[in-house]
Structure 1
Amino acid sequence: MRVYGVTGWKNAGKTGLMERLVTEITGRGFSVSTVKHAHHTFDVDHPGKDSHRHRVAGASEVILASRTRVAQMTELRGADEPALSDLLARLSPVDLVLIEGYKRDTHPKVEAWRAETGNPLIAPGDPHIKAVASDTPMDLDRPVFDLNDTKSIADFILSEVGL
């Protein structure tokens, strides 16, 4: 499976870049799935809803299905967070999986970086970051794109994965 990541510190523009990349790449006729890492707890259903009641009652997994979407929720209940490779194995085949976050994993990535955050660049110490998408011009040992130049970033990623 072809995978490529978008990584960076909080408020670097990762999610906006991911959204634009999905739109750009699917607009070219490729199928895309995404994986997003969250460093905090999250919930996709709500108290009082049937699926939430199933989970609270102790179900290990709950699948919620309709004519328009399917969601599968797995309660870890103290188990370790699954590895990225395990999550990727759950996905149906697509042309490209874009991964947001997972900055410590070894898949190829573009780092999103904004000067205003004051965070250091990750790229100089990480050979898996193949390019940087920045709001500020910089001189690096790898390509640097304007953070808003979605077309060029998409071209780069598609070239990198052979699409």
Structure 2
Amino acid sequence: MPYVLGIAGWSGCGKTTLIEKLLPELAALGILVSVIKHTHHHVQFEPAGKDTSRFRAAGAGEVLLASPQGFALLHDGDQPLTELLARLVPVDLVLVEGFKMAAIPKIEVRRTDYPAIEDPHIIAIASDCSPDSSLPVFDLNQAAEIAAFIAASCHAGF
């Protein structure tokens, strides 16, 4: 089972950007990473009337769309994080954006203009300010330091 770590924060605070910066740093440390992104927005994977949308409209429980560039598994309905994790190929670490109610360790992305997140699962803070906290606080722009903390957390099984 991989180490699962959430990246939490208010909308627009830089969660996706932080994950994007962490991925090459974690790879350089030899950590194999997958990402799960949860959104409340409507996502259309293929326009109406195209093959996969027609299969789904006709009643297919899942449609797997494959191409030389990769594949996507289309499944109706919101899925629990545990089920999504079970579908991933084995990796060392899964970074999760969204699923804010999940009982998983999280790094909070905290900006000057945003209030702190009240979540007992926050284990560290990545920030553009210097919040007063008993938790480890990292400069949001120092992805290498945050990645080193994550690597240590993975190995400790936080």
Q: Same fold (TM over 0.5)?
A: yes
Deviates more, 1:14-23 or 1:44-53: 44-53
1:159 is matched by which residue type in structure 2? A
Matches of 2:109 and 2:137 in 1, distance apart? 10
Report the identity percentage. Answer: 46
State the 1:41 CA deviation: 1.6
Q: Give the letter for the 1:111 counterpart.
A: E
TM norm structure 2: 0.90
Task: Find the counterpart in structure 2 of residue 73 from structure 1.
Answer: 74
- In the alignment, structure 1 segments of 5+ residues that lack a partner are none
Q: Which residue of 1 aligns with 2:109?
A: 112
> Take 2:73 and 2:93, find their aligned partners in 1: how far apart are those partners?
21
Whether 1:89 aligns to 2:86 is yes
Q: What per-residue deviation string (whole Å, max 9, x for no partner) do you get for residues 30-66 of structure 1?
A: 2111111102221222234321222233322110012
Give the Cα–Cα distance (whole angstroms) in 2 for the partners of residues 83 and 57 of structure 1.
25
1:73-119 C-alpha deviation (Å, 9 max, x unpaired): 0013xxxx321111111111011111112221111110012223xx3
TM-score normalized with structure 1 length: 0.88
Return structure 1 stretches of 4+ with deviation > 6 angstroms.
none
Q: Equivalent residues in 2 for 1:45-56 (5 A)? A: 45-56=46-57
Aligned to 2:83, the other structure's residue is in SS state helix
Give the Cα separation in 2 of the matches to 1:151 and 1:69.
Answer: 29
CA distance in 2, matches of 1:155, 1:49: 45
Are residue 158 (structure 1) and residue 151 (structure 2) matched? yes
CA distance in 2, matches of 1:11, 1:40: 14
Deviations 1:113-139, CA, capped at 9 Å, x for gaps? 2223xx3201xx322100111111122
Output the CA distance in 2 between the equivalents of 1:68 and 1:27. 24
What is the root-mean-square deviation in Å for CA atoms of aligned residues?
1.5
Q: Which residue of 1 aligns with 2:116?
A: 121
Matching residue within 83, 86, 99 for 1:102: 99
Q: Distance in 1 between matches of 2:138 and 2:130?
A: 8
Unaligned runs of at least 5 residues, structure 2: none
Q: Distance in 1 between matches of 2:64 and 2:108?
A: 34
The answer on 1:144 being equivalent to 2:144 is no
Contact 2:64 / 2:71 at 8 angstroms: preserved in 1?
yes
